[in-house]
A and B are shown apart, each in its own frame.
Chain A
Amino acid sequence: MISAHTLRYFALLISCSINLDMKTVVLGFLGSTLDRGFGDRRWDRWRPTIGIGQQEDLLVDRVELLHVPAHQKLARLIADDFVQVSPESEVRLHRTTLRDPWDFEEVFGLLHGFATSYPFDLENERYLVHITTGSHVAQICFFLLTESRHFPAQLLQTSPPKKGEDLGSHAIIDLDLSRYDALARRFAEEREASLSFLKAGIATRSERFNALIESLERVVLRSTEPVLLLGPTGAGKSRLARRIDALLRSRRQLAGPLVEVNCATLRGDGAMSALFGHTKGAFTGAAAAREGLLRAADGGLLFLDEVGELGLDEQAMLLRAIEDKRFLPVGSDREVESQFRLICGTNRDLRAAVRDGRFREDLLARIDLWAFELPGLAERREDIEPNLDFELEQVGAERGEALTMNREARARFLEFATVEATWPASFRDFHAAIVRMATLAPGGRIDRPTVDAEIDRLRATWSRATEVDASLKDLLGPERLAELDRFDRAQLADVVRVCRESKSLSAAGRTLFAASRKRRKSTNDADRLRKYLLRHDLDWESVRG
């Protein structure tokens, strides 16, 4: 006789059986203090890494243990001891080049590099990041990189045995489950301190953008010349300026403050005195002396956004300040000195402004020695996901609450953001979308209905649907378009858009089948795309037309 219980249990068993062969992999640092011990007495102490292998309810198939060269001997012993207490496990040692485990930038860079090069196999393996060992800085970096999903993992925390018990315990923390508030608080202060690096840690995947950032970093570290950031509204110029400030600060190349000015707000009479200061009584209403923004930036970084909006007088004074590091405050007969690094931003064509006589040619020559053009978000679709993590983090911090997004909501939003959305105002649109969702999310947790509502709102704003139809109408003609289901229209419109943005049929194929491409042994994406177009009586030339 089989009881009802048994039947229910076996039904349960079968429903869970999908993940039966999932392997468990632990990633962690060798604990140079906590895991230490070479003599027999080491078995009397709690060693966190060994403790993982002793957990009766955790079976680890593989351990990836990072260590510094100096601890190679300890790492080998820990590997041997681990396999002894847990023969089912394999331990792989990773010798790192880490020099200072307390240097945030170095540790972050190391772990970020490890995360990007590690062959995560999410279909067959689940990952646990062990945060009990390693320097405090390493723990923070592990946490941040897991939270930002560079490590697609859960956190593993181990604890020493309670009084009267022999074995320590462990806890697995899923950062997707918004139940990690206590842990998040523990890291909150550290995160404030490291916010600048976190920005640098948005794992942007766009090659063009990454190359730009790399050369930008080289330039600002090696040269003190002004830097000009070009790009559409919302491409993240201010954010990048802040990031440069943080970078210079971490290298101790800056001591003074970061002063950000939007020149568009400085037009008119007050502009001069706001920038360069004035003396008491310099003009009517100047009841007290004013230092001015350039002087305030002494020893620090001055970011002049929308520099093309600056008046001609101010441009002249600025040029002087850049060249001589000296300028004359309004109403003063004594020059003041200010040593500052300068970054300018603009979305205008400054050469055209020079031709029109609205911008000084000599000033342009001075500030565009190092000019960098930032692509907008729509040109960096592969960067949307890392930026989502960043925005959630930022907006959450601004709102003073942990802002999370459940898996389903996240998947839906990313699908929309990377495929359908046009992001005409780039990061500004993107940021606004996150802020709206954060405001409407119940309990700081963005769910599917919140995302759906936001997508509707964005669609309405951009009225993308009409665009889709317009682009296809030209290609297919009104009759054939009318025969197409809305379902097929959306797909075809996107395919056409990708084709028009791509250099060749093969390049378009690669973009369109990017997700499944990694899983396939042989790829003939161009052929697939060609056949798809053929079904709609289209070919590469006509689409490109």
Chain B
Amino acid sequence: MDPIDIDGRAGEGGGQILRTSLALSALTGRTLEMHHIRAGRGKPGLLRQHLTAVRAAAALCDAEVEGAELRSGALRFVPGTPKQGTHHFDIGSAGSAMLVAQTVLPILLRVGGQVRVEGGTHNQSAPPFDFVEKVFVPMLARMGADVSVRLDRAGFYPAGGGDFTIRVAPSELRPLEGAMSLTEGEVSGRAIFTRVPASVAARELAVLASELGIPSERLRPHEVRSRGPGNAVQVFLDGSVPELVTAFGKRGRPAEEVARDAVAQVRAYQAIGAPVGEYLADQLLIPLALGGGRFRTGPLSSHAETNVETIRAFLGPDALTVEPDGGTVIVSA
């Protein structure tokens, strides 16, 4: 079979094309030849977090790789056969460990296995561990996947040092259902904190109570273990499709402002009225293309659109269909 030629400049560009391509190359067994990786960015080519993703994907399917070098603009990835196994990846703080998890998870769904990742678990640049645990994994379960995740230590930016494990039993994906209409459910909030005063969490929760009217029994401060300081406000919406928004605290940013950021994200999700939120849509595209089914989401971000194009390059132009429907979009496979 011919290699798949992927132009890194397409659409939004960036690391997502790479991550999706790596996963699909491993799953389809087709050689990936990617060029112009992250061309046009301030620091073009592969950065450390991308290299880690390449190495992780290669480890899961015994791939032969050329061009896996820092700042490399071209990559050739010749996948072997994915095998069940136990892997451990140690990642620095600057890139997110969650993005590496995102790269390898589709491969794990096929063959099963256990992957332990150390590094940043709570980091502005990617949905945090809790999103994977409370939103993405339950949706995969609906498609028949048997996935469990466990956080042993949170790794907040910039100290990193988090530690989590993903366990997957091999399974055949079935079509996604029940993701077309939104039934709102219970709303709960929590303020995660570590190595910062508990009063920060209390102030954040007070904002969630007053702005979103969440009753106090569903608001809790949540202290976690980590090697560096960290704080985040999360609101969980347990509707027909779960959604979790996260706003990160940062030194010099008032607790109230962090909480209001989370409130604004909740309102934006509710205003669109589609069950599948922006980040979940992005992550569901590969499982959907592999297992079939459909979901309704808001207008696709350019990030998601690029992702759709990359998936089509591997699985064919009909692998995913995107149809606008009123103010929302239906994605089906």
Q: Measuring CB to CB, which residues of chain A are less than 8 angstroms from any residue of chain B?
A: 1-3, 5-6, 9-10, 12-13, 16-17, 20, 40-41, 43-44, 53-59, 81, 84-88, 166-167
CA distance A17 to B67 in the complex (A): 8
Q: Counting CB contacts under 8 A, is B7 at the interface?
A: yes
Q: Which of B2, B90, B158, B229 contacts A166 (CB 8 A)?
A: B158
Please give, as numbers and ranges, the residues of chain B lying within 8 Å of A81 by CB-CB distance.
159
CA distance A20 to B124 in the complex (A): 32
Does the CB pair B70–A59 fall under 8 Å?
yes
Q: Measuring CB to CB, which residues of chain B are less than 8 angstroms from any residue of chain A?
A: 2-3, 5, 7, 33, 35-36, 43, 45, 47-49, 51, 66-67, 69-74, 76, 90-95, 118-119, 124, 157-161, 195-196, 227-229, 251
Please give, as numbers and ranges, the residues of chain B lying within 8 Å of A12 by CB-CB distance.
73-74
CA distance A76 to B5 in the complex (A): 47
Nearest to B95 among chain A residues (CB) is A56
Question: Could you tell me the distance in whole angstroms from the C-beta of A110 to the nearest C-beta in chain B?
Answer: 31
Does the CB pair A1–B92 fall under 8 Å?
no
Question: Could you tell me the distance in whole angstroms from the C-beta of A63 to the nearest C-beta in chain B?
Answer: 13
Q: What would 26 A/B residue contacts be, using CB atoms closer than 8 Å?
A: A2-B33, A3-B5, A6-B74, A9-B35, A9-B36, A10-B66, A13-B66, A13-B67, A13-B74, A16-B69, A40-B195, A40-B228, A43-B229, A53-B92, A56-B48, A56-B95, A57-B48, A58-B70, A84-B159, A85-B92, A85-B159, A87-B90, A88-B48, A88-B92, A166-B158, A167-B158
CA distance A20 to B195 in the complex (A): 41
Does the CB pair A9–B74 fall under 8 Å?
yes
Q: Which of B5, B47, B161 contacts A6 (CB 8 A)?
A: B5
Question: Could you tell me the distance in whole angstroms from the C-beta of B75 to the nearest C-beta in chain A?
Answer: 8
Nearest to A11 among chain B residues (CB) is B74
Please give, as numbers and ranges, the residues of chain B lying within 8 Å of A9 by CB-CB distance.
35-36, 73-74
Nearest to B67 among chain A residues (CB) is A13
Q: Which 10 A-B pairs have the closest CB atoms?
A: A9-B74, A87-B90, A9-B35, A56-B47, A85-B93, A44-B251, A40-B195, A43-B228, A86-B92, A40-B229
Q: A56-B48, A85-B160 are in contact. Are A13 and B72 (CB under 8 A)?
A: yes
CA distance A75 to B258 in the complex (A): 35
Nearest to A89 among chain B residues (CB) is B92
Nearest to B3 among chain A residues (CB) is A2
Please give, as numbers and ranges, the residues of chain B lying within 8 Å of A53 by CB-CB distance.
92
Please give, as numbers and ranges, the residues of chain A lying within 8 Å of B196 by CB-CB distance.
40
CA distance A224 to B328 in the complex (A): 93
Does the CB pair A44–B229 fall under 8 Å?
yes
Please give, as numbers and ranges, the residues of chain B lying within 8 Å of A17 by CB-CB distance.
66
Nearest to B251 among chain A residues (CB) is A44
Does the CB pair A54–B7 fall under 8 Å?
no
| A-B contacts besides A85-B92, A88-B92, 5 pairs, CB < 8 Å | A20-B69, A43-B158, A43-B229, A57-B47, A84-B161
CA distance A10 to B33 in the complex (A): 9
Nearest to A56 among chain B residues (CB) is B47
- Which one of B33, B47, B92, B228 has the highest number of Cβ atoms from chain A below 10 Å of its Cβ? B92
Please give, as numbers and ranges, the residues of chain B lying within 8 Å of A20 by CB-CB distance.
69
Does the CB pair B5–A54 fall under 8 Å?
no
Does the CB pair A1–B2 fall under 8 Å?
yes
CA distance A9 to B67 in the complex (A): 10
Please give, as numbers and ranges, the residues of chain B lying within 8 Å of A43 by CB-CB distance.
158-159, 228-229
Please give, as numbers and ranges, the residues of chain A lying within 8 Å of B119 by CB-CB distance.
87
Question: Could you tell me the distance in whole angstroms from the C-beta of A16 to the nearest C-beta in chain B?
Answer: 8
CA distance A85 to B43 in the complex (A): 20
Please give, as numbers and ranges, the residues of chain A lying within 8 Å of B49 by CB-CB distance.
56
Does the CB pair B92–A10 fall under 8 Å?
no
Q: Which of A40, A41, A44, A54 contacts B92 (CB 8 A)?
A: A54
Nearest to B124 among chain A residues (CB) is A166
Please give, as numbers and ranges, the residues of chain A lying within 8 Å of B90 by CB-CB distance.
87-88
CA distance A12 to B74 in the complex (A): 9
Nearest to A24 among chain B residues (CB) is B70
Does the CB pair B76–A10 fall under 8 Å?
yes
Question: Could you tell me the distance in whole angstroms from the C-beta of A126 to the nearest C-beta in chain B?
Answer: 12
Please give, as numbers and ranges, the residues of chain A lying within 8 Å of B91 by CB-CB distance.
87
Q: A13-B67, A43-B228, A57-B70 are in contact. Are A85 and B94 (CB under 8 A)?
A: yes
CA distance A274 to B158 in the complex (A): 71
CA distance A73 to B3 in the complex (A): 53
Does the CB pair B118–A5 fall under 8 Å?
no
Please give, as numbers and ranges, the residues of chain B lying within 8 Å of A57 by CB-CB distance.
43, 45, 47-48, 70-71
Q: A12-B74, A85-B94, A88-B92 are in contact. Are A56 and B43 (CB under 8 A)?
A: yes
- Which one of A2, A12, A85 has the highest number of Cβ atoms from chain B below 10 Å of its Cβ? A85
CA distance A41 to B196 in the complex (A): 9
Question: Could you tell me the distance in whole angstroms from the C-beta of B72 to the nearest C-beta in chain A?
Answer: 7
CA distance A85 to B161 in the complex (A): 7
Q: A6-B33, A13-B67, A13-B74 are in contact. Are A54 and B51 (CB under 8 A)?
A: no
CA distance A86 to B160 in the complex (A): 9
Question: Could you tell me the distance in whole angstroms from the C-beta of B17 to the nearest C-beta in chain A?
Answer: 15
CA distance A490 to B76 in the complex (A): 49
CA distance A56 to B66 in the complex (A): 20
Does the CB pair B94–A56 fall under 8 Å?
yes
CA distance A185 to B5 in the complex (A): 48
CA distance A44 to B231 in the complex (A): 13
Question: Could you tell me the distance in whole angstroms from the C-beta of A354 to the nearest C-beta in chain B?
Answer: 70
Question: Could you tell me the distance in whole angstroms from the C-beta of B302 to the nearest C-beta in chain A?
Answer: 22
Please give, as numbers and ranges, the residues of chain A lying within 8 Å of B73 by CB-CB distance.
9, 12
Please give, as numbers and ranges, the residues of chain A lying within 8 Å of B195 by CB-CB distance.
40
CA distance A71 to B91 in the complex (A): 28
Please give, as numbers and ranges, the residues of chain B lying within 8 Å of A1 by CB-CB distance.
2, 5
Please give, as numbers and ranges, the residues of chain A lying within 8 Å of B157 by CB-CB distance.
166
Please give, as numbers and ranges, the residues of chain A lying within 8 Å of B251 by CB-CB distance.
44
Please give, as numbers and ranges, the residues of chain A lying within 8 Å of B74 by CB-CB distance.
6, 9-10, 12-13
CA distance A85 to B72 in the complex (A): 22
Please give, as numbers and ranges, the residues of chain A lying within 8 Å of B118 by CB-CB distance.
87
CA distance A53 to B161 in the complex (A): 13
Question: Could you tell me the distance in whole angstroms from the C-beta of B127 to the nearest C-beta in chain A?
Answer: 18
Please give, as numbers and ranges, the residues of chain A lying within 8 Å of B72 by CB-CB distance.
13
Q: Which of A2, A3, A58, A85 contacts B158 (CB 8 A)?
A: A85
Question: Could you tell me the distance in whole angstroms from the C-beta of B5 to the nearest C-beta in chain A?
Answer: 5
CA distance A167 to B124 in the complex (A): 13
Nearest to B161 among chain A residues (CB) is A84
Nearest to B42 among chain A residues (CB) is A57
- Which one of B3, B48, B158 has the highest number of Cβ atoms from chain A below 10 Å of its Cβ? B158
Please give, as numbers and ranges, the residues of chain B lying within 8 Å of A88 by CB-CB distance.
48, 90, 92
Nearest to A81 among chain B residues (CB) is B159
Nearest to A167 among chain B residues (CB) is B94
CA distance A130 to B309 in the complex (A): 43
Nearest to A8 among chain B residues (CB) is B35
CA distance A54 to B157 in the complex (A): 11
Please give, as numbers and ranges, the residues of chain B lying within 8 Å of A3 by CB-CB distance.
5, 7, 35
Nearest to A85 among chain B residues (CB) is B93
Please give, as numbers and ranges, the residues of chain B lying within 8 Å of A86 by CB-CB distance.
92-93
CA distance A54 to B69 in the complex (A): 17
Q: A87-B90, A167-B94 are in contact. Are A59 and B159 (CB under 8 A)?
A: no
Does the CB pair A54–B35 fall under 8 Å?
no
